[in-house]
Structure 1
Amino acid sequence: MLYFTGTKAACDRHVSFLQEKRYFNFNQPLMNITRIVMSAVSGYLIATLLNLTSVTPVAYQQPAFLHNHPSAVVSLYQKLSQFSGSKAAASELLQQVDNLLTSGVELQLADMVVISLAMQSAINYHPEQVEQLYLSIKSRYKHSRTLRNYFFSCTLSGRQKLRTTIKALRYSLSKPSEFEEKLSFIGHASDDEELMSLANSRYGEISYESVYQAFLYRALTSQPLEYPNTVALLLRNLALAHNQIGSKHIERRLIVLIRELETESVIPHLTNGPSVYSYLTP
């Protein structure tokens, strides 16, 4: 099984990108359409699907992160598990995505993970259709900052992924804007004595990394989570964003935090094996 841990180079090598021009500047445009970043789908899902031959198909039947989600989303995920890498197969994926969008189902983060993965898988075969789907979903949620940032957390890359994932985490936790600001600019010189004490007592040091971890731990354990599955997925997206910008030390802290929160039953345990990016538990 191929795992997506600490592998920025692997991400660059294996994941097809589309990027919006207002965010990025390319010396050589890939194609004559708006380019949207598709790396952020979910590293743990992409990595698994890159090595399908080593996975028993039955393992794809009931993914834990899609528990109680629309059957159309589960069906799309199952179709992804059998994706043959052909133009015809890509067309089928995009048709399922389009059917899902036109059905009127209200999408949540886990659904967007699957849709984004389908778009990423099909981009090399039908770039214009993928662009239209992206723009359609973006427009669909232009008045919902929560769902819009969920979608961007799954489709943007690097610093844009980091920023939108922090926003998405803030909205899922119903936190004020200060949460976003503090997490974005946190440092070991904070005047928050309670936070410094927590970092020192829980992680044995006061450093940028331990304070970052302690800040999130406190925010996520101060009261029961309304959307624990969403938080579990957003933490993985946050870790992947740090991987993409080269902040491996923060990525490692987030992986430890995910395991902490799983052990304490704050968030559900969604993955098998030693990696938080490994295949999600069916």
Structure 2
Amino acid sequence: MLSNLKRTGKVLIVSVMAMVMVAPVAFAITRSDPFDTPSIKGHKYTFTSEVWDRYPTKGTTTVEAVGDFSTVNAPTPAGYMGGQARLYNSNNGALVHSSTWKYNDSDAWNMWVYSPRTTTNGYYYAQNKGQFYNIDGYVEYTGNKSPILQLSGNQSLNSKNLTEASEIIEKLSLKKEYDVNNNGETYGSALSEKTIGMEPDLISAIGTNGVNGYIKSEDLSPKVSSIEEALELSGGNGEVKIIPLYAVDGTNVIGEFKLVTNYELVENQ
């Protein structure tokens, strides 16, 4: 399985990609710098934001967000480590796909979390989130943004489009405040969280029907305060959760957004 692959070498932007060959699928990967947490209840954690481009021998090439969540000093007890893999596009920084929140349901050193896959050509980023248990509940961190990865099928890389994609994401990453709708709710791309300091109430997303809209942050990331709540929320592989896609007013439902549980645990180092 995927957890047995040996990932070597950091990939920087699109011009340099590590190809990991495993029959019958090949990978192109972009990977962020690791995000390292301070000590939390005696444990230190690190996690990455990655985009994987899979090349099946038959079928359609796909792109997904992948999160590598690890404890660095000792196996973490069940429920201590949570992760969510998020895939964004570069058109407007909209969330294209996301996993559910997944918490380790047994003692583990490492947990891989995967978003659903897309087949739509374009430029993609991952910026994953991690939650880690402390005595008061969970502390949440937003990881580093991955480098860009292009899904283009047989098309050649267009430097002009790549430049435009990078400029859009850079602008979102430097945004100082969100827009506010008539109901007093903030809205915009969650890629602006690092500079603004919090996610918007309404996160720009693309629904299962291809419509651009917004999902509520509280639907995407339900708050949990105990290990029991986290493990109850944490689904098994393949489980699907549907949340509403709203217009910018945060009231009118215009579609749906699908969250899928897909993960692997590594119990031994």
TM-score normalised by L of structure 1:
0.29
TM-score normalised by L of structure 2:
0.30
The structure with more strand, counted as a fraction of residues: 2
